[in-house]
């Protein structure tokens, strides 16, 4: 419960003012009152169609919509926006777990400090090398580093050294070109050091925006400090990281509250720093060791999950949206269609899982995977659905981050880079890692889509570079 003297202030430095409980509750009330207000809903959808986003209040109304026809219109707009901004490209990545030692008590995560069933492990630099080589051999170019919070086992120095190791490894034609980092909330100084180490996006999930629920779910450890956790992205921005990725773990608490909170977080970052989140992740609670989803009565159904994704797409059209292998093939198909732009593939959620693939590693998994297909199978499936699997990492390597990236994205200019980059990185994947069937399907798509690149100059250069990729050259980008 918040005190009455705390006012909602989108630009505030204080979590309780920019994720203001009273504003969220008033928004949910407003949404309930207006869920059958057709003229208002039509107005919100018309605004969404323009691709400039909608506010957290407007999004809350759409989350409540039950009219089938309106719902279908909402999905159609989400699909069109996605098509307009992202084309049919889906960016691929994989998580890399460095350590599962953790001092926190998050009740939904098997790494919580009190769980004695799982083997604890922290990778050495040599073990990281082996993991990275295994990931490169699958074809990955973009990683998300994951680690539990532990001042002794995974201090910032360990994370920085690991990033350096990862970027230094060249195995055959492999290279990890972008390392996104998902580590516990930390200081401005540490964020500065991460930025200097060349990270892509700094990712941190809020888990739930409902403070009371958050405090219940995080009873012990540094993460139990809601304000420190919620202000982490502000400190990351002050430390110079301008691509940040937010997320909520849907099912921990009321999803309506979390959607509104997440959008208020995005509005806050935009208002205070001039740039909203680079990505939003939408994980849902999954079974794992010591975790029973039945203990979480707020779990969201596939239908609701799809609606959440579509509403987020309407609200923040230029923010990438990520789903992991927590989701099954079927639910991934549902959300790809209405807004998701990034997927993980061939993931292991255990420490040491890629190089070893042993039972030991499996036992230390953070959550059970629903989509167990290999990266090659996922690439083949995306091609079949008409998507271009993209291994592009060009933007941050070209200095297109933060507001620079957003202004290119909003003007539509980024599309001139994304499409050819997707085709060229897919061509690299096909040459180096694909099965013959996937290679045939991908080659056919590349030939067809290269012809559709609108600019003569870019089409010509892409065509030439694709030829050079077949001849063995690598790492072209616009």
> Shortest CA distance to 393 belongs to which of 323, 320, 328, 445?
320
Site for ligand SF4 in 118-157 (CB under 6 A): 148-149
Write the CB contacts of 117 (distance below 8 Å, at least 6 apart in sequence): 110, 289, 290
Q: For ligand SF4, which stretch binds (CB under 6 A), given 9-17, 22-30, 103-111, 255-263?
A: 103-111
Q: How far is CA 232 from CA 20, 36, 178, 207, in A?
A: 16, 38, 21, 13
Can you tell me which residue has the tokens 């630009």?
Answer: 11
Candidates 27, 99, 104, 325: give the one binding ligand SF4 (CB under 6 A). Answer: 104
Closest to ligand SF4 by CB, 77 vs 418, is: 418
- Contacting residues for 407 by C-beta, under 8 A, at least 6 apart: none
Q: Is 112 in the site for ligand SF4 (CB under 6 A)?
A: yes
Distance separating alpha carbons of residues 398 and 409, to the nearest angstrom: 14
Cβ of residue 258: shortest distance to ligand SF4, in angstroms? 16
Judged by CB under 6 A, the residue of 98, 252, 418, 430 near ligand SF4 is 418
Stretch touching ligand SF4 by CB under 6 A, among 65-73, 106-114, 129-137, 308-316:
106-114
Q: Helix-strand-coil percent breakdown of the chain, rounded to 5?
A: 50, 10, 40
**Which long-range CB contacts under 8 A does 195-200 form with residues at least 24 apart?**
195/239, 195/240, 195/241, 197/160, 197/163, 197/164, 198/163, 198/167, 199/163, 199/241, 200/142, 200/243, 200/393, 200/396
Closest CA to 5 of 15, 14, 17, 19: 17
Q: Which is nearer to ligand SF4, 2 or 390 (CB)?
A: 390
Per CB under 6 A, 106 contacts ligand SF4: yes
Total number of residues that touch ligand SF4 (CB under 6 A): 19
Query: What is the per-residue binding string for ligand SF4 in 208-247, x denoting contact by CB under 6 A?
Result: ---------------x------------------------
In the complex with ligand SF4, the residue whose CB is nearer, 34 or 89, is 89
CB-CB contact of 245 with 285 (8 Å): no
Nearer to ligand SF4, 178 or 265 (CB): 178
Stretch that binds ligand SF4, among 108-116, 263-271, 282-290, 376-384 (CB under 6 A): 108-116
Please state, in angstroms and rounded to a whole number, the distance separating the CA atoms of residues 352 and 336: 29
Q: Does 414 bind ligand SF4 (CB under 6 A)?
A: yes
Cα distances (angstroms) measured from residue 403 to each of 106, 270, 408: 34, 10, 8
Structural contact between residues 267 and 56, judged by C-beta atoms closer than 8 angstroms: yes
Judged by CB under 6 A, the residue of 162, 165, 254, 390 near ligand SF4 is 390
Applying CB under 6 A, does 395 fall inside the site for ligand SF4?
yes
Using rule CB under 6 A, residue 429 touches ligand SF4: no
Only one of the segments 58-66, 104-112, 277-285, 378-386 lies at the binding site for ligand SF4 (rule: CB under 6 A); that segment is: 104-112
Rounded-to-integer distance, Cα 434 and Cα 436, Å: 6
Q: Which is nearer to ligand SF4, 2 or 393 (CB)?
A: 393
Binder of ligand SF4 out of 394, 438, 445, 453 (CB under 6 A): 394
In the shown chain, the binding pattern of residues 53 to 92 toward ligand SF4, with x for contact by CB under 6 A and - for none, equals --------------------------------------x-
Q: Is 340 in the site for ligand SF4 (CB under 6 A)?
A: no
Q: Which residues bind ligand SF4 (CB under 6 A)?
A: 91, 102, 104, 106, 109, 111-112, 148-149, 223, 390, 392-395, 414, 417-418, 421
């Amino acid at each position: 419960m918040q005190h009455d003297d705390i006012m909602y202030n989108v630009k505030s430095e204080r979590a309780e003012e920019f994720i203001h409980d009273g504003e969220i509750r008033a928004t949910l009330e407003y949404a309930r009152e207006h869920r059958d207000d057709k003229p208002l809903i039509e107005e919100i959808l018309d605004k969404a169609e323009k691709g400039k986003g909608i506010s957290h209040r407007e999004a809350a109304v759409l989350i409540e919509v039950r009219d089938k026809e309106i719902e279908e219109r909402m999905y159609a707009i989400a699909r069109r926006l996605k098509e307009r901004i992202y084309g049919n490209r889906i960016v691929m990545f994989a998580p890399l777990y460095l350590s599962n030692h953790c001092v926190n008590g998050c009740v939904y995560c098997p790494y919580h400090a009190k769980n004695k069933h799982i083997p604890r492990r922290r990778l050495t630099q040599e073990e990281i090398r082996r993991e990275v080589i295994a990931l490169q051999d699958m074809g990955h170019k973009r990683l998300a580093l994951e680690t539990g919070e532990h001042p002794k086992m995974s201090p910032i120095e360990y994370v920085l050294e690991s990033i350096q190791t990862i970027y230094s490894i060249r195995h055959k034609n492999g290279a990890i070109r972008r390392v996104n980092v998902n580590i516990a909330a930390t200081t401005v100084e540490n964020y500065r050091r991460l930025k200097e180490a060349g990270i892509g996006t700094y990712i941190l999930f809020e888990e739930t925006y409902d403070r009371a629920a958050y405090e219940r779910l995080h009873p012990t450890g540094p993460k139990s400090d809601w304000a420190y956790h919620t202000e982490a992205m502000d400190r990351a921005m002050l430390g110079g990281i301008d691509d940040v990725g937010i997320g909520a773990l849907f099912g921990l608490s009321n999803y309506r509250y979390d959607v509104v909170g997440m959008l208020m977080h995005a509005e806050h970052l935009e208002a205070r720093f001039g740039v909203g989140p680079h990505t939003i992740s939408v994980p849902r609670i999954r079974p794992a060791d010591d975790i029973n989803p039945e203990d979480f009565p707020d779990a969201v159904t596939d239908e609701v999950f799809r609606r959440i994704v579509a509403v987020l797409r309407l609200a923040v059209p230029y923010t990438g949206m990520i789903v992991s292998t927590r989701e099954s093939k079927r639910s991934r198909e549902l959300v790809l269609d209405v807004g998701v732009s990034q997927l993980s593939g061939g993931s292991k959620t255990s420490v040491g899982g890629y190089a070893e693939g042993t039972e030991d590693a499996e036992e230390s998994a953070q959550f059970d995977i629903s989509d167990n297909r290999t990266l090659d199978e996922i690439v083949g499936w995306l091609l079949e659905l008409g998507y271009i699997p993209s291994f592009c990492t060009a933007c941050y390597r070209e200095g297109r981050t933060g507001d620079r990236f957003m202004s290119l994205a909003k003007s539509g200019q980024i599309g001139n880079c994304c499409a050819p980059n997707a085709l060229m990185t897919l061509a690299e994947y096909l040459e180096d890692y694909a099965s013959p069937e996937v290679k045939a399907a991908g080659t056919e798509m590349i030939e067809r889509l290269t012809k559709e690149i609108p600019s003569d100059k870019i089409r010509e250069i892409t065509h030439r570079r694709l030829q050079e990729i077949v001849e063995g050259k690598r790492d072209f980008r616009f």
